[in-house]
């Protein structure tokens, strides 16, 4: 593999290639096996990190706890105790998937709603700076999926939208800037998610496109990001039956048609590597998901992920056991020596491409004081405010309800959907800052109460606050009218012919499908504080709405426009 290491995306110089070769040569088989694993660490407890360090992994994925100093010390420990420098990865996706101590940037759909590639590049530079300040050298972003099946709760706000050109151009701007600032990007989720409304966390999902359709959409996106030098691709638990049937020459359904890409040599080695020419590192999606664990026994799955084309194995509930399964696979031949060498070479090549072998510990994780100065820096927060203001999208206002005025809409009845955190350690979503600001402006707010139903005698405005961001394991997006209105009769009641009504989604942009008749509807894509601050000004008419919807917020329902 000497020649490919000098080519994109690694672009290694002779000295870097020599380090990769020398490091590979001195690793035992057990140590090579360790390099295949990227283990998850939850919170800031140092004991689990010490236990994982004993396995000499290639990487650690940090779900940091809420205390910055404790998190910094835990990451420092991981780096100190590994002779071969670690890849430190994270899902740095913006919105409420982030940590509470970093700049509250918009998620990818909010970014796309700004419709400004320069802002996307500037955001990626901020993400890279704060990643490096926390010790991250590898981000599992961007999501290059297409929002087609709008009921899917797992894609939604994590993607740049439903338009191929938009997703491609946004992804390219993000990847180039992130990697220019020293953090490896990851295009996910191979071979393309968003056309199955299910969630690979819960089941192996299916990309149903024909190969012609796939080439015109996901194929075009992946070819572009590969040409741009994306360093890694995440092979997910998603099947692409059209490619399998094309290669095998059969038309009647076979079980192999529905094999997840993470375990499929045809999808990862032949389509991604051979057809598209990807030379970088392939990491599996999390191997704790139902989309893979339901496919075969664990002892078979573990070596098959690497043998069939992935270079790194992501996450484990039983790390020692999975390492042993990988060793057993090597001894039995389920994992070939050739694939082991290829995979570890690419793991080391990514480390060399990031310059980790030349960097001191302080260069890989700055002293805590430097970290604190970087996070939420004034320029970073200014960008977050600018993008929040630019992204908020007024989808419809058929009765000219806006702007809100205390003298006309003083008595406000709130109807709220519970908000959920995305990942362990992510901030708990809350719209309390917005509500406090509305009260300060002179609005009187009360919660919806079935014993005191809203009417013109006791209310001036119904304000629906709904919408989580894209959420793994949530299955599907929908408005639960029973929960919103309290009982079965309430679920069938609509108030917007009796009272002014405004619905605001702070996450998924598709709720008009279940509320097509609501007269006024806004998508903010997340509820991070800069979004709430900007939303207040727009609700009160102090700023114009400028967001451009990256998806069809009407969900194909023409009636919802009226």
Compute the distance between CA of residue 507 and CA of residue 552 in angstroms, rounded to an integer: 15
60's CB contacts (< 8 A; 6+ apart) are 38, 39, 40, 41, 49, 52, 78, 86, 87, 88, 89
Preceding peptide of 357 cis, ω within 30°: no
200's CB contacts (< 8 A; 6+ apart) are 154, 189, 193, 236, 237, 238, 260, 285, 289, 290, 291
Burial 192-226 (b: 16+ CB within 10 A, else e): bbbbbbbbbbbebbbbebeeeebeebbbebbbbbb
Could you confirm whether 498 is annotated as catalytic? Answer: no
CA 378 to chain centre: 25
Compute the distance between CA of residue 381 and CA of residue 127 in angstroms, rounded to an integer: 12
Q: How far is CA 106 from CA 93, 103, 111, 160, 507, in A?
A: 8, 9, 6, 11, 11
Q: How far is CA 267 from CA 236, 247, 272, in A?
A: 10, 10, 6
Helix pair angle (117-133, 378-391), 10° resolution: 140
From the candidates 285, 311, 322, 460, which is the catalytic residue? 285
Q: What is the 3-state secondary structure (H, E, C) of 206-274?
A: ECCCCHHHHHHHHHHHHHHHHHCCCCEEEECCEECHHHHHHHHCCCCCCHHHHCCHHHCHHHHHHHHHH
Nearest alpha-carbon partner for 525 in 543, 539, 508? 508
Q: 390 — alpha (psi -120 to 50), left (phi > 0) or beta? A: alpha
Catalytic residues: 285
């Amino acid at each position: 593999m000497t020649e490919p290491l000098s080519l994109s995306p690694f672009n290694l110089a002779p000295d870097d290639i020599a380090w990769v070769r020398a490091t590979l040569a001195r690793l035992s088989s057990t140590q090579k096996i360790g390099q295949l694993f990227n283990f998850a660490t939850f919170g800031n407890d140092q004991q689990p990190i010490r236990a994982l360090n004993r396995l000499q992994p290639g990487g650690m994925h940090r779900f940091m706890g809420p205390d910055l100093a404790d998190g910094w010390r835990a990451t420092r420990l991981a780096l100190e105790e590994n002779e071969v420098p670690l890849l430190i990865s994270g899902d740095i996706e913006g919105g409420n998937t982030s940590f509470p101590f970093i700049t509250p940037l918009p998620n990818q759909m909010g970014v796309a709603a700004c419709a400004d590639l320069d802002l996307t590049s500037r955001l990626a530079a901020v993400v890279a700076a704060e990643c490096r300040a926390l010790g991250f050298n590898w981000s599992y972003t961007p999501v290059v999926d297409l929002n087609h099946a709008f009921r899917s709760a797992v894609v939604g706000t994590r993607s740049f939208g439903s338009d191929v050109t938009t997703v491609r151009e946004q992804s390219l701007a993000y990847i180039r800037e992130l990697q220019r600032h020293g953090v490896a990007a990851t295009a996910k989720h191979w071979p393309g998610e968003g056309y199955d409304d299910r969630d690979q966390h819960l089941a192996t999902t299916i990309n149903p496109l024909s190969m012609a359709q796939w080439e015109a959409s996901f194929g075009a996106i992946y070819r572009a990001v590969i040409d741009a030098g994306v360093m890694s691709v995440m092979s997910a638990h998603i099947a692409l039956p059209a490619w399998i049937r094309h290669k095998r020459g059969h038309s009647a359904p076979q079980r192999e048609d529905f094999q997840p890409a993470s375990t499929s040599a045809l999808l990862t080695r032949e389509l991604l590597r051979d057809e598209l020419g990807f030379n970088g590192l392939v990491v599996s999606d999390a191997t704790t998901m139902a989309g893979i664990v339901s496919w075969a026994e664990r002892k078979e799955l573990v070596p098959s992920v690497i043998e069939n084309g992935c270079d790194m194995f992501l996450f484990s509930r039983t790390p020692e056991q999975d390492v042993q399964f990988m060793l057993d696979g090597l001894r039995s031949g389920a994992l070939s020596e050739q694939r082991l060498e290829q995979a570890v070479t690419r793991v080391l090549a990514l480390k060399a491409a990031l310059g980790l072998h030349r960097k001191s510990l302080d260069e890989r994780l700055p002293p805590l004081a430097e970290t604190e100065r970087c996070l939420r820096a004034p320029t970073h927060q200014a960008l977050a405010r600018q993008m929040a203001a630019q992204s908020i999208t007024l989808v419809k206002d058929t009765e000219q309800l806006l702007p809100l005025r205390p003298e006309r809409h003083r008595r406000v009845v709130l109807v709220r959907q519970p908000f959920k955190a995305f990942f362990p350690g992510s901030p708990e979503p809350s719209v309390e800052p917005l509500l406090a600001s509305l009260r300060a402006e002179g609005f009187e707010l009360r919660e919806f109460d079935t014993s005191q139903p809203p009417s013109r005698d006791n209310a001036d405005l119904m304000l629906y606050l709904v919408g989580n961001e894209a959420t793994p394991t949530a299955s599907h997006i929908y408005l639960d009218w029973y929960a919103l209105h309290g009982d079965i009769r309430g679920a069938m009641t609509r108030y917007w012919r009796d009272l002014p009504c405004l619905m605001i989604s702070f996450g998924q942009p598709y709720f008009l499908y279940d509320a097509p008749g609501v007269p006024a509807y806004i998508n903010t894509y997340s509820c991070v504080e800069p979004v709430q601050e900007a939303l207040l000004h727009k609700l009160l008419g102090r700023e114009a709405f400028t967001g451009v919807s990256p998806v069809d917020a009407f969900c194909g329902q023409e009636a919802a426009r009226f």
